[in-house]
């Protein structure tokens, strides 16, 4: 069972994060939460972990003691711990999943069919126009547009998505900050339109160089695919693309003009095997039709080729139920068996 006090404090409207999870947010690394779940008998048991359990899964003693010594924390958003059923299942398999997500707006949006639209802060007019076209076209087809609320491509994609639907902004800092400050009205509009702002950091944490690579990995984890609109060779958007490929998400890039620095990263991605966005409407149609197909939660969760056991854990269903559904979908020709006892979309 989820710890009783993790959630909204009804008296204050402030989210309360239990000490164990407040400590995990600061001190958990990599696969440690998954190892604890296996040791203790499931995700819902993780918050019962004591010092011997942390040591048994390889947490150094000093870090384990600091983890368990952390006090209760507060957040302006709704806290979703790694063991919370509302936590987005797509994030659990990433190499270093956030222990706690703090969400301003609709937490359910984190489980929606989504495509990330990312790129440079110093975009060209061409890049801005493509980002707006992508944001509106995807949103009009029921796809949640994910980006980072930064200047440039992110801002254009978010604003355009709001014309037709919802958008999700993943911050590289805490909820108490908006960076850049000029995007405060956009942030309010996202929440008012039924979208969401999400952070895995303490509310008072300011933007820092080290936070954005993590943020970019989480953007990738929350999305079916990442499309890079414009990016120089040294760009956070390329980190997002790399993380996407590493966890089996699709990577797309918009071709740009030869010799244009803001297109150099996209051209490199295309040379390395990324798929090309050569028509925005066709690209959006591809994900719009897939979104309709993936209304079936089993089909949606198959996008990264899990085993039946992993799929059952992700959907929080009995393995027998998942196997029966997979067998039916296989007969229909919509699911195929992959190597390693995994399943994928036909």
Summarised one tens digit per residue, pLDDT across range 321-346 is 788 778 877 876 778 888 878 888 76
Cis geometry, peptide bond prior to residue 180 (ω within 30 degrees of 0) = yes
Query: Which of 77, 240, 268 is CA-nearest to residue 147?
Result: 240
Task: State phi, psi for 152 to the nearest 5 degrees.
Answer: 80, -130
Q: Indicate whether 309 and 283 sit together in one domain.
A: no
Residue 119 lies in a domain: yes
Q: Which structural domain, as residue segments, surrounds residue 301?
A: 297-345
Q: How many domains does the chain have?
A: 3
Contact 123, 150 (CB under 8 A): no
Domain end position, chosen among 31, 51, 74: 74
Domain end position, chosen among 50, 74, 98: 74
- The model carries a pTM of 0.79
pLDDT tier at 292, thresholds 50, 70, 90 = low
Residue 92 lies in a domain: no
Average pLDDT, the chain: 87
What does the block give as tokens for 305? 């080729």
**Eight-class DSSP state of 252:** E
The torsion of the CA quartet 285, 148, 84, 46, rounded to 10 degrees, works out to 130
Residue 19 lies in a domain: yes
In CATH, what number is assigned to the domain containing residue 246?
Answer: 3.40.50.450
Mean pLDDT of 23-49: 93
Contact 7, 16 (CB under 8 A): yes
Query: Which of 223, 218, 219, 150 is CA-nearest to residue 187?
Result: 150
What does the block give as tokens for 343? 């399943």
Alpha carbons within 13 angstroms on the beta-carbon side of residue 100 total 31
């Amino acid at each position: 069972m989820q710890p009783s006090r993790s959630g909204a404090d009804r008296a204050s409207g402030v989210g309360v994060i239990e000490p164990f999870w407040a400590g995990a947010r600061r001190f958990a690394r990599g696969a440690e939460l998954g190892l604890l779940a296996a040791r203790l008998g499931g995700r819902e048991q993780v918050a019962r972990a004591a010092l011997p359990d942390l040591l048994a899964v390889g947490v150094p003693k000093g870090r384990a003691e600091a983890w368990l010594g952390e006090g209760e924390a507060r957040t302006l958003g709704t806290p979703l711990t790694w063991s919370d059923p509302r936590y987005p299942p797509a994030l659990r398999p990433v190499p270093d999943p956030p222990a706690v997500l703090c969400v301003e707006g609709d937490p359910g949006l984190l489980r929606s069919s989504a495509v990330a639209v990312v790129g440079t802060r110093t975009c060209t007019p061409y890049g801005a126009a493509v980002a707006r076209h992508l944001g509106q076209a995807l949103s009009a087809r029921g796809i949640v547009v994910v980006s980072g609320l930064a200047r440039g491509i992110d801002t254009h994609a978010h604003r355009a998505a709001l014309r037709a639907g919802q958008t999700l902004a993943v911050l590289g800092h805490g909820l108490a900050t908006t960076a850049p400050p000029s995007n405060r009205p956009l942030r309010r509009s996202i929440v008012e339109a039924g979208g969401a702002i999400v952070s895995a950091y303490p509310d008072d944490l300011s933007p820092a160089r080290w936070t954005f690579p993590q943020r970019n990995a989480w953007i990738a984890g929350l999305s079916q695919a990442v499309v890079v609109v414009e990016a120089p060779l040294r760009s956070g958007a390329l980190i997002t693309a790399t993380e996407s490929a590493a966890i089996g998400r699709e990577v797309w890039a918009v071709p740009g003009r030869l010799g244009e620095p803001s297109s150099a990263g996209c051209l490199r991605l295309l040379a390395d095997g990324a798929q090309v966005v050569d028509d925005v409407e066709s690209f959006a149609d591809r994900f719009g039709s897939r979104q309709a197909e993936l209304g079936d939660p089993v089909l949606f969760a198959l996008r990264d080729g899990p085993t039946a056991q992993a799929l059952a854990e992700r959907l929080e269903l009995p393995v027998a139920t998942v196997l029966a559904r997979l067998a039916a979908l296989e007969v229909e020709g919509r699911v195929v068996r992959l190597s390693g006892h995994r399943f994928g979309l036909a």
